[in-house]
Chain A
Amino acid sequence: MKAISRKRWLPLLAAGAMLATTLAGCSGGGKTDESAASATPSAENVYKEKYDPPVTISTAWGVDPTLTFKNGETIENSVATKWAKDQFGIDIKSLWSVTDTNGAFGTKLRLAMSSGQEMPDILTIGTADNQIAQDLIDSGMYEEVGPLFDKYASDTWKAAIDQDPNVWNAYMRDGKKMGIPVLDYAYNHDYLLWIRQDWLDKLNLKAPTTIDEMEKVMDAFKNQNPDGLSPDQVVPLSIGFKTSMNTWMGDPSWIFGAYGTLPQQWNVDADGKLAYGSIQPGMKEGLQKLSDWLKKGYIPQEAALWDENKTAEPAVAGTAGIIPGPYWMSGWPLKDTVQNSPDAVWAPIEIPAGPDGKAMRHGTQFTNGVTLIKKGMEHPEAFFTYQNYLFDNYANPEPGSQYDNGLFAGYDYQLDADGKQLPIEEIDGGYVNVVRYLLVRDGARIPDAQMKALQSLAEGNEPKTKLEKDVAVNYGKETPAAAQVLLKQDAISYKNMFSGPTTETMKSKMDYLNKMENQTFNEIIYGKKTADAFDEFVSTWKAGGGDQITTEVNAWYDQVKK
């Protein structure tokens, strides 16, 4: 019996092997694409404001899960695709779309490539999927964009991108620009400290400007709480380390900034080289400080378990005294604090300085993704027609111009009988964040435009332009003042200077190094190891691939640095 069944396995295995070959045969179609289409687009293409007969641009969508649709529309067939057709004579052809949660867009892109599906002409990929963007560039399927950009992009767009030439860095290969960075508003995730002004006032304290002063304030918040909370109920400083020591809300990285380094990012050192922030000597002092604060109960006892949203909870509950976060936090989530603690007043303050008067915070890149253009795309200039128009007319529209109220009436704005803008809650059928229907997410953003608008409001001017009105309505009333606080410290904002593709050694070693780093740091903070464990970590880090990674990172940096 057994012998029989064993023999019967053989044909089965053979069949399996055959199937494997079949599969192999029907995949990998992307490769043929590449060889067939390596020619540069033909020279006779002419840039036009409107194409007649219409031209086609194919794309694929990673749909934001919160994006809504109305009037039976879909991402493939929406008010924005109709608009593209009418306005520019551009047919937007959707190859596929996917709701982008759990990294579904990146996965689907990889699967589409694996199964040899047609790849889109124009593809916009967010920073979260940076790895796949880098892979696509390396696949050779996508075109060098530098010459196209120089030839076709409008002056507004070029000026916007020139605000920070580093935005190209991530997409450079051998000095060639392989992808157009998607611009975003500056300082969006730079942070400052939000502090309970009402508590400060009741305690007769001034906003802290140094780490030492801050300790006194935190101690007073905890032990003489003005709202009468018992010490164990108060979280004087709400921060968390679960995901990272360098994040966007409840962030602890400025504490290390006070001692001269920012963890988990690459900073330019005194010699102009890139150095990994987590191994600099300042870290040790910062960790000791945090350890001390944990012991004294200034930071949450569960900080190692807390992610960003968790740190907001005590802030909203009215039990936290200070929370680091973006300048727009008064609009969300802090505006709900008064419902739980009626006297609560949050005020934005500057990042405090360390013993040497030094302060640092991590900066926000001016970009949140990249747009790729496929090799052999018939009309790459059509993409520029589309995008130039948005930069020239929509990115910062003049008062009274066509897009002064928004992009599409009945979607992101609606006017009443007198031509006045309705609050967005009253739009028939609901507000739609319609810029997410566009080929490039968020349409077109000029990095400094939003801060300028806020600045103008902070100076007491009435909102006039679309952006000013937008921030005035949607960003909470303390936001302009907060933006000013943020800008006052723009000199201490340091971006992660490494934005290139994962290096060879990073691929094999970085995960372990990160793990060891997080573990050591948290153990020091929790007093399970002494601060000397830090020195040990640094030498292990260097020997365990860190030095090699630093070399590779600098090799990359030398190539892109201007």
Chain B
Amino acid sequence: MGFHAPSKGTAKVLGFDIRHDARKVRSLVGYMPESDSFIAGMSGIRFVRYMAEISGLPPEQAMERAHEAFFYVGLGEVRYRKLGTYSLGMKQLAKLAQAIAHGPKLLIMDEPTNGLDPPARQRMIQLVREIRDAGDMRLIISSHLLRDVEETCEEVLILRNGRLAALCNLEEERRANRKFLELETMGANGAFSSALQQLGCECAVFSNGRMKVVMPDKIEIREVYRIAEQQGIQIRKMNHRRDSLEDIFLNAMEQTGAAHGGL
């Protein structure tokens, strides 16, 4: 957005250089800030119209688009009320309306569901999905709420200390992500994991007897119990799991943390 001057390197947004074509970039981008940003003393519709005019729309078109945007986000009935009287959820939706009123090609949403109650959150998620599926604009969502990200995004980019920690396509990740067993054992040692590997399983051993076992389809769980019994190992907990975005996130954090000498 040009809020911070770049120190070095180059970057392009929608084909435009962020240094030399910053104005062009900003005209193609819609931004929904995280903080409670609005203009004091204005009605909702006037606020969105004002923002659209600053983006370059003539007054008549800005007014029309402001009405459209307000109805689109579901605030049509309250568009003439002062912004100061809006609830938190309504303010979030008004911020979304101002971000899309000028018809951007790229929409950047900073924590769009932050502080929303469950129905308002659902409404916001639904809107984001609709905008995504319409295909008129691309979306970038910055959020710590990984569940929301999983529900709305196709690709996830995890940053740590301003550096890229992981980049994954969620759909591919879901497809590639095999089911695994999470075990909590008592007395498990290298022999146990070796025996499982001989069966064709992939094993990862963690501290305190915890293990992750990826099993081929042909192997049944009773085989794991049989080996445990043979070796006198107690299996205290067994869970079937898939890697969630949270696991991917934590993994990325651990890996980059280790690369940088720990957390």
A binds B: no
Interface residues, chain B, CB within 8 Å of chain A?
none
- Interface of A toward B, CB cutoff 8 Å: none
